């Protein structure tokens, strides 16, 4: 698995200190699909419009809030407090989990929530589904995720929803 180093963005670090790239996570799942689970913690909108690994459990860790935060210059996310309970519906605390989001930040939060709930083998997929943004300010693709991640590593993905693998928050 990937070794953490000084270059790892602090927002991607977790209390368990377990990290993998998307390619490593996929290879581990391929080797043992019964014991290894991939948990995609992005929003339903991301599954719909960006795509997702078909074999992954889709369990959002946060919801998008549609109230503009002028101070931060973005629409914020609201953590879903039942996240660990929903993961417990499909995984045991001693199973190997690879948790992924878009690029490794929300998945670090999710990994920490799972660690607090007693899960012991939770790897943060540090490049996520799409990877980090392109930092080349001269590129037409500036801020586009082009250099790593599940899709860019050639791992299989789909835009076809797999509702049988979605564990969403209960409707209020």
Q: Is residue 81 part of a domain?
A: yes
pTM of the predicted model as reported, rounded to 2 decimal places: 0.90
Nearest residue to 37 (alpha-carbon basis) of 20, 16, 49, 13: 20
Spatial distance between the Cα atoms of 56 and 142, rounded to a whole number of angstroms: 29
Q: How many domains does the chain have?
A: 1
Q: Is residue 171 part of a domain?
A: no
Domain span at residue 55 reads: 10-165
**54-88 pLDDT, tens per residue?**
999 999 999 999 999 999 999 999 999 999 999 99
Q: Is residue 93 part of a domain?
A: yes
Domain of 58: which CATH number?
A: 3.40.250.10
**142-169 pLDDT, tens per residue?**
455 567 899 999 999 999 999 999 999 9
Helix (H, G, I), strand (E, B) or coil at 116: helix
Contact (Cβ atoms closer than 8 angstroms) between residue 39 and residue 150 = no
Q: Is residue 29 part of a domain?
A: yes
Q: Is residue 2 part of a domain?
A: no
Q: Is residue 5 part of a domain?
A: no
**pLDDT band at residue 170, thresholds of 50, 70 and 90?**
confident
């Amino acid at each position: 698995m990937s070794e953490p180093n000084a270059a790892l963005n602090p927002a991607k670090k977790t209390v368990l200190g377990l990290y993998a790239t998307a390619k490593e996570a996929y290879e581990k799942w391929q080797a043992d699909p019964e014991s290894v689970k991939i948990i995609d913690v992005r929003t339903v909108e991301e599954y719909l419009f960006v795509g997702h690994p078909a074999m992954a459990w889709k369990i959002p860790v946060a919801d998008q809030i549609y109230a503009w935060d002028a101070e931060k210059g973005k629409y914020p996310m609201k953590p879903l407090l039942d996240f660990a309970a929903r993961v417990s519906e499909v995984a045991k605390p001693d199973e190997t989990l690879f948790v992924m989001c878009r690029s490794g930040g929300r998945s670090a939060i999710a990994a920490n929530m799972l660690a607090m709930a007693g899960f012991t083998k939770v790897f943060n997929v540090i490049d996520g589904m799409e990877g980090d943004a392109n930092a080349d300010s001269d590129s037409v693709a500036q801020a586009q995720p082009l250099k790593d991640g599940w899709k860019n590593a050639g791992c299989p993905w789909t835009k076809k929803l797999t509702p049988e693998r979605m564990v969403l928050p209960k409707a209020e």
